[in-house]
Structure 1
Amino acid sequence: MIPQRFTPKLYTLLREGYGVSSLKADAMAGLTVAIVALPLAMALGIASGATPEQGLLTAIVAGFFISALGGSRVQIGGPTGAFVVIIAGVIAQYGFDGLALATLLAGVILIVAGYAQLGQIIRYIPHPVITGFTAGIAVIIASSQVRDFLGLPIDEVPAEIIPKWAAYFAAFNAIDPWAVGVGAGSLFTILLLRRFAPRAPGYLIAVLLSALFVAATHAPVETIGTKFGEVESALPSLSPPAWDFEKLASVTPAAFTIAFLAGIEALLSAVVADGMTGYRHRPNQELVGQGVANLASALFGGLPATGAIARTAANVKAGGRTPVAGIIHSALLMAIVYFFSGSMTSIPLASLAAILFVVAWGMSEHRQFVHLLKLPSSDRAVMLLTFLLTVFVDLTAAIGVGVTIASLLFMKHMSDSVSVTPQGGLVADALDNEQEDTTQRTELPPGVEVFRITGPLFFGVSNALVDTLHDIGQKPEAMIIRMKQVPYIDASGAKSIREMIKVCRDDGIKVVLSSPRKQPLGLLKKAGVFENGDDVVCAPSYDRAIEIAQDIVEQRAPNPFAETG
């Protein structure tokens, strides 16, 4: 029997019962999302260096499988802004067949990641990295639309951000007022509707009004028809990419990038949906569903896809209850393409650019960006570094460096929080919850020294113990190491303990480990810390450690193996 965490939400919900009221709610939500997705899919397809048909095809095919096989009740999938830069780069370097091959491989990677139970990976991506990354993508998307919005006569726009803007500035004297007027009108319409009629499909209304204006006035602006020709009205059909092992190897890095972005954005979107609905998604099944969706999209000639936060939120707000809403959204898009594709050729590119400006602004998370600028310098540095690398280098480097720097800073903070301190007397220890009688004795027995370790003992602080040991003055006969506040120890920490024991053995000092927890004690045993017999003794409590230390000093040390259980 397949575990529930690998069962699509659709199957579970249908098995529990699906009534007419749920169908009505899902149908209305599916219609709403289809209206939102229609212009957005075309705009993202064009921005990615592909065609509007491929953007729509991705929303239809991938959107169906993400809803049918995913782990979320309300996730809506399709092309998203996060992929724009990656897709454009892969198409420019390897052609569309190379992109399709990378998308196929990314689908396989996502399926493997799901069954490897990597669905919780989102927890380990620091928030400053995600914020800097999405803000950087927003800048790139907005920059890519300046040509169409202003109607600049540039045949080939450079991919890199600095040459791109250099080309824009060089062509600013040829701004097309018609394109600016259409784009500004579309932008104004979207913002006005968001302010006064938030439930209205602002993207679709803006596109329809601009298309009607251009058709009525014969305005000389670039449209989908003038740039891409007729939009095909055919139903999706299989068109697997041509491939060979050399091309497969060359697109593998891009495939991992696509898989990573798809997984991260899908899980982020699912988490947002959980917060809006109160339900919980199945992260591992969500990755599997995303993987199948990308496989299918590539086989039908589409683009990489993932969960779309804005469309998922629109689905929830429109009353979507189950994955059926996403399936209906996909079916309606297919019907629109089949019956009304001829009308799409009149849509101005400047209007689609206005839509992507709004999408970029939403992706920028400007409030979070400003908020993080007020936080500690380490968080600011990670966010700004990720942002700058995303804009000026590439997305893969931004994520890799951002996560690495954030991890190193985290380890530094953890190292700073770990203390290895000498304890010069018997004092009450609230952290250990051990009620020690401070009136019984105010000093340690002669010849006994005590150190307390507080915090995880890992490679970032593994030398602190030996360094502290070297700093003590007169060498004791017995050394107690209090470990109750050590929740975790790694191989480097175990090595540090062994080195400390060796130093003590060379100096004739016996070591007593007081109150070690289960994980540190188990690792120390595996590391061979107790192999040398009477070099080290393990005591179950601090009181017992004092007794053992006194016995050692008085040359009456107990059998070291009697206390190590």
Structure 2
Amino acid sequence: MLNFFRQESGSIKNDVLSGLTVALALVPEAIAFAFVAGVSPLIGLYSAFFIGLITAVFGGRPGMISGATGAMAVVVVALVAQHGVEYLFPTVILCGLLQIAIGLGRLGKLIRMVPHPVMLGFVNGLAIVIGMAQLGSFKTLSASGTLEFLGGIRLGLMLALVALTMAIIWLLPKITRAVPASLAAILAVSLISIGINQSNSEGENVLATVGDMLETNTKAAAIAELRQEAEADLVTLASATGTDLVPDTTLVADVQAGTDLETVKAAASAASGTEAILLSETSSGISGGLPRLFFLDYEMVPFNFETLRIILPFAVILCGVGLIESLMTLTLIDEITETRGQGNRECIGQGVANLVCGVFGGMGGCAMIGQSLINVNSGGRGRLSGITAAVCLLLFVLFMAPLIEQIPMAALVGVMFMVVIGTFEWASLKMFRRMPASDMIVMVLVAGYTVFMHDLASAVILGVIVSALVFAWQHATHLGAEVRYNEAGSKIYQIHGPLFFASVSSFKELFDVADDPQDVVIDFYYSRVYDQSGLEAINGLADKYEAAGKRLHLTHLSNECRTLLDRAGDLVEVNVSEDPHYHIATDRLA
């Protein structure tokens, strides 16, 4: 199904229009991830601007979109909650420095070690995660202050507009490619939604918009914060008085009846006995000014070892998560566009972007797979598409916030559902019977971990580790020896298969030191020694034959292996014309 995205060719017009489409889709994503991280929506929007612009200019993959992501937000939420938002910015700066160092060290090429079954599981799991993430757009705030699914006519209208959006994206390219289908669908459905909402005499939007989503999330966050404060106050009071208190029913009633943040704040103040200050109350919209250096608006954290001890673990995790997700996205876009990006340059670009983002008070970010696929599907192939998306996003914040807040969530959900359909590798379902069982297990494992744990980076690492273990196990069983005697009565063991840590035990079982004749030859012409474990096994075997008073000859070993054999080096017969020349990856060589 990835061929679905190959239908467009690159051009300046396509890059500009696809960038505008991506910018519209970036707004709700950036806001949602800001709430996940526990920071203001404007921080998420500014982060998306800086990350998107800088990676578009300096990154290694034209056409790939970066911004504030859920993977990074999940990491920093604990930091913000425990130490405050002031520690977030130096953490993002340190993350950027680490990513730059990895790029300069040319470690981006390690992405080539990801096996194809891991890639399939990653893509399929990602498609499911993107689809499930859209379910939140079908929820609204209930009277009790919790999110619940829509029902009745509101649900019917939203489903109808989602279907209309998907139909436009599917059918329009069959008629014309003058305008990206996703952009046309968003504009058309937005006009219909505005008409429906304005026709409602009750004044409330029947179809949820980006502005409604922001207000709903703000209220939900405020009420959740209020309840946490109330529970903490009740527990403290119970400990002080030695009584068993239950939640204040009056407080709960105030929360349930709350229709705006002022009511919520008043209830919180009543619960705590002091003026309640809610982070959420500052999040009234996406309108804002130009980004400012973080130390102009926030208190500077002390520059000492204690600060480094706090931020370093988070920075390392952010660095790893960001680079894995970005490099996996780069590989996916490479496959779609049939071109090749530069992994090391992307690492440097992501690092510079996070460095600048942290300096200007951002939450950090990395490549966004969903938005990248929207861009590619809309015809965005060059760096101009990413630059356009970032610049348009900043213009939305500065000048067009009221208009952007009128975009219906149904249109954006429809676009993302089409991304899901195009991302999922449907052919992998037909490959189950033809794939080796081990590859099938790896693919399902990676997809399942991605879906249930929502951790793309860990899913890829897990898949690579399992694939490596399966590979080692399979090749450990391929080691054997062909035994024969020459005219002089010497016994010759001709080794077949790789000698490495997993096959060392099998290698040792091939030899009968006690019953072998006085002259023994081990021929490595059809074998390769891959690691230090293999070298130590040869050394150990040489010691056993020497202790038994027997002569051992080792033939057809590589130059590197002969050099690294400590105790058996003088037993090696060198044949320059026949001995193989290959390198052995060992710690000593490194």
**TM-score (normalizing by structure 1):** 0.73
- Tell me the distance in 2 between the aligned counterparts of 1:300 and 1:176: 42
**SS of aligned partner of 1:485:** strand
Residue pair 1:179, 1:350 contacting (<8 A) in 2 also: no
8 Å CA contact retained: 1:69, 1:289: yes
Select 1:238's aligned residue among 293, 297, 307. Answer: 293
Tell whether the 8 Å contact from 2:45 to 2:393 is kept in structure 1 after alignment.
yes
Distance in 2, Cα, partners of 1:391 & 1:311: 19
Paired with 1:90 and 1:392, the residues of 2 have a C-alpha distance of: 23
The one-letter code of the counterpart of 2:573 is C
Bigger mean CA offset, 242-251 vs 117-126: 242-251
**How many pairs align?**
480
Picking from 181, 188, 203, the partner of 1:200 is 181
User: How much has 1:287 moved relative to structure 2?
Assistant: 0.6
Matches within 5 A, 1:27-426: 27-50=12-35, 53-80=42-69, 83=72, 85-86=74-75, 96-97=85-86, 99-151=88-140, 153=142, 175-198=150-173, 199-202=180-183, 204-205=186-187, 206-207=189-190, 209-217=192-200, 218-220=204-206, 223-224=212-213, 226-227=215-216, 228-239=283-294, 243=301, 249-250=309-310, 252-275=312-335, 279-309=339-369, 311-312=371-372, 322-349=382-409, 352-353=412-413, 355-359=415-419, 362=422, 364-368=424-428, 371=431, 375-393=435-453, 395=455, 397-417=458-478, 419-424=479-484
Q: Using the alignment, how far apart are the partners of 1:207 and 1:485 within structure 2?
A: 68
Indicate the structure whose relative CO is greater, using CA pairs within 8 Å and at least 6 residues apart. Answer: 2
Does the Cα contact within 8 Å between 1:215 and 1:346 map onto a contact in 2? no
Q: Is the 8 A contact 2:19 2:387 kept in 1?
A: no
Question: Could you say if the C-alpha distance between residues 388 and 320 of structure 1 is closer, same or farther in structure 2, counting changes exceeding 3 Å?
Answer: closer
Instruction: Work out which of the residue numbers 435, 452, 461 in structure 1 matches 2:494.
Output: 452
* Higher deviation after alignment, 182-191 or 86-95: 86-95
Distance 1:37 1:513, change over 3 A: same
Contact 1:232 1:341 in 2 (8 A): yes
Tell me the SS of whatever aligns to 2:501. coil
RMSD: 3.6
Gapped runs of 5+ residues in structure 1? 1-24, 158-167, 426-443, 545-565
Q: Contact 2:374 / 2:419 at 8 angstroms: preserved in 1?
A: no
Could you tell me how far apart the structure 2 residues matched to 1:371 and 1:520 are? 41
Give distance in 2, aligned partners of 1:374 and 1:57: 47
CA, structure 1 residues 107+142, in 2 after alignment: closer, same or farther (shift >3 Å)?
same
Deviation at 1:135, TM superposition (A): 4.1
Q: Is the 8 A contact 1:151 1:350 kept in 2?
A: no
Structure 1 position 464 matched with structure 2 position 516: no
CA distance in structure 2 between the partners assigned to 1:387 and 1:316 by the alignment:
23
How many percent identity over aligned positions? Answer: 25
Residues 527-554 of structure 1: CA deviation (Å, up to 9, x unaligned): 3432xx4xx132318999xxxxxxxxxx
The aligned counterpart of 2:519 is 478
Distance 1:35 1:543, change over 3 A: closer
Deviates more, 1:504-513 or 1:66-75: 66-75
| SS of 1:424 mapped into structure 2 | strand
**Cα shift readout 1:89-119 (whole Å, capped 9, x = no counterpart):** 7666666555544433322221111011101
2:186/2:411 contact within 8 Å kept: no
Q: Secondary structure at the match of 1:236?
A: coil
Aligned AA for 1:485? Y
Change (3 A) 1:77 1:49: closer
Distance 1:183 1:68 in 2: 37
The alignment partner of 1:447 has SS state of: coil
User: CA 1:355–1:77 in 2, change beyond 3 Å: closer, same or farther?
Assistant: same
Higher deviation after alignment, 183-192 or 219-228: 219-228
Partners of 1:490 and 1:408 in 2: CA distance: 15
How far residue 179 of structure 1 moved from its aligned partner, in angstroms, is: 4.2
Report deviation, 1:494.
0.7
Paired with 2:419 and 2:85, the residues of 1 have a C-alpha distance of 25
SS at match of 1:72: coil
What SS does the corresponding residue of 1:109 show, helix, strand or coil?
helix
CA 1:393/1:283 → structure 2, altered by over 3 Å: closer, same or farther? closer
8 A Cα contact 1:136 1:391, kept in partner: yes
- AA aligned to 2:110 is I
Change (3 A) 1:45 1:415: same
Q: 1:404-423: CA deviations, max 9, x gaps?
A: 22221111122123x23132
CA apart distance, 1:62: 1.2
CA distance in 2, matches of 1:251, 1:210: 45
What's the offset of the Cα at 1:513? 1.4
**Secondary structure class of the residue paired with 1:521:** helix
Q: Indicate how the Cα distance of structure 1 residues 488 and 300 shifts in structure 2: closer, same or farther if over 3 A, else same.
A: same
| Shift in alpha-carbon separation, 1:34–1:543, aligned structure 2, 3 A | closer
Give deviations 1:267-307, integer Å, cap 9, x for gaps.
33334444555654332111100111122223334343333
Residue segments in structure 2 that go unaligned for 5+ positions in a row: 1-9, 174-179, 217-282, 580-590
TM score, norm. by length of structure 2: 0.70
- Offset of residue 340 of structure 1: 1.2
**Aligned amino acid, residue 210 of structure 1:** S
Q: Distance in 1 between matches of 2:369 and 2:166?
A: 19
**Kindly tell me: are residues 69 and 346 of structure 1, through their superposed partners in 2, closer, same or farther at Cα, counting changes over 3 Å?**
same
Query: The residue matched to 2:526 in structure 1 has which SS?
Result: coil
**Is this contact kept in 2: 1:424–1:449, CA < 8 A?**
yes
Matched AA of 1:35: L
- Partner of 2:495, secondary structure, is strand
